[in-house]
Amino acid sequence: MNQSPPARQQMRIRKVAALPLVGDSPKGGWSAEIRPEDSIHALVVVHTDADISGFGSVFTNGQLVQAGIRVLEPLLLGENALEPDRVSEKLHQNTFWMGRGGTLTHTISGIDIALWDILGKATGLSVSRLLSGRHREHATAYCSLLMEEPARMREVVATYRAQGFRAFKIGWGPFGRAHDTRLDEAIVAAARGAAGDEAQLFVDAGASDAYWPHGFSWAKRTAEMLKDYAVGWFEEPLRPDAIEDYRELRRCSPVPIAGGEVLTRRQSFIPWLTQGALDIVQPDVTKVGGISEQRRIAWMAYDSGMKYVGHGWNTALGLAADLQLAAAMPDTDLVEFIGGSPYVDDILREPFALDADGRLAIPDLPGLGVAPDAERIARYTPDITPLRA
């Protein structure tokens, strides 16, 4: 009997590069506000000796990613691109002395996403099928918007509702910063009024911002207010290291408590999960260590009775990774979608599009299932040549 030849077992990494995205960076609502020319996102490309390339995304300054790649190259070049879990763990294990969780972990995130993209392309399978299989074919995109003064907040939410979104998250900006509880409530009321009673609405205080002024008492009072507007979760209501306050807030809050975007690597999430500090766990695949780490954290959350929803304030490639992870998890039916970011809307050959119910189809094509567009990306990066093999 004739048998098909065995699948290729090795695919060597021959080149890794980062492309900082600059020129049209979206505002973040941070106290030190992002400027359009600031680099807060970078794309990563991994090229192999089989002429298959993979793409990833990192939520940090592109120069840091470029420096991180230079440090990691001796561990990475010549490695087998078909083994993302093993290769990424090798990078983590051999760089502990340079710090765990910072620039190198962020850089590994983009590399890891790219390696999963390569593995999918080499096998002809989507990343979600490689991870565990597909629990869903669509995920609801919640439109992530900055807080505005009430009149403007109403206009912004109404604009994106008209574009087809049926779930919204509002955050950062003046919320909590103005020390005016009436203003906080007026902003939320304006968003709820524009979104409609049937829409999902989430609120992000953004307490990881510099010098957050509030503590437990403010968070508890605010959670009580949010209940009246049917808010689905209260995100980052406390400073990111205040785990004891998070535990207490989760026990007494009438709305679910979400967080975790500033944590990196699976080990950092263990105390938050074992101590029951969150209702919704939000690692960011472009910072936490990539798909390899994100799926471990997601399953730990699931086994702990918590919901996993990835933090996704990133690029179209980060969103593509979030969609694949949403398909692979039993109860993850939401993905974050930045409203109005060209790094989401304008870097793919076929941009993401909402269906009539405000959902995104989860690609079932090889790898991440999306194709970067070099001409479009060239508008936002100083040098496009690394994208080419």
- The rounded distance, in Å, linking the Cα atoms of 342 and 245 is 37
Tokens found for residue 160: 């994106």
DSSP result, 194-209: HH-TTSEEEEE--TTS
The DSSP code for 229 is: T
Sorted by where each starts, the structural domains of the chain and their CATH numbers stand as 13-126+374-387 (3.30.390.10), 129-361 (3.20.20.120)
Query: Residue 1: its pLDDT value, please?
Result: 47
Q: Please, how many CA atoms are within 13 Å of residue 49, restricted to the half-sphere of its CB?
A: 13
Six-digit token string for 75: 């561990």
Going by C-alpha positions, the residue among 169, 209, 137 that lies closest to residue 310 is 169
> End-to-end distance of the chain based on CA atoms, in angstroms?
39
Tens-level pLDDT at each residue, the chain (389 residues) = 455 545 678 999 999 999 999 999 999 999 999 999 999 999 999 999 999 999 999 999 999 999 999 999 999 999 999 999 999 999 999 999 998 899 999 999 999 999 999 999 999 999 999 998 999 999 999 999 999 999 999 999 999 999 999 999 999 999 999 889 999 999 999 999 999 999 999 999 999 999 999 999 999 999 999 999 999 999 999 999 999 999 999 999 999 999 999 999 999 999 999 999 999 999 999 999 999 999 999 999 999 999 999 999 999 999 999 999 999 999 999 999 999 999 999 999 999 999 999 999 999 999 999 999 999 999 999 999 998 87
Question: Token pair of 147, please?
Answer: 């807080």
User: For residue range 231-270, what is the model confidence (pLDDT) as tens digits?
Assistant: 999 999 999 999 999 999 999 999 999 999 999 999 999 9
What φ, ψ does residue 229 adopt, rounded to 5°? -115, 20
In what helix (H) or strand (E) does residue 20 lie, and over which residues does it extend? strand 13-21
Which residues are CB-neighbours of 35 under 8 A, at least 6 positions away?
25
Percent of the chain with pLDDT over 90: 95
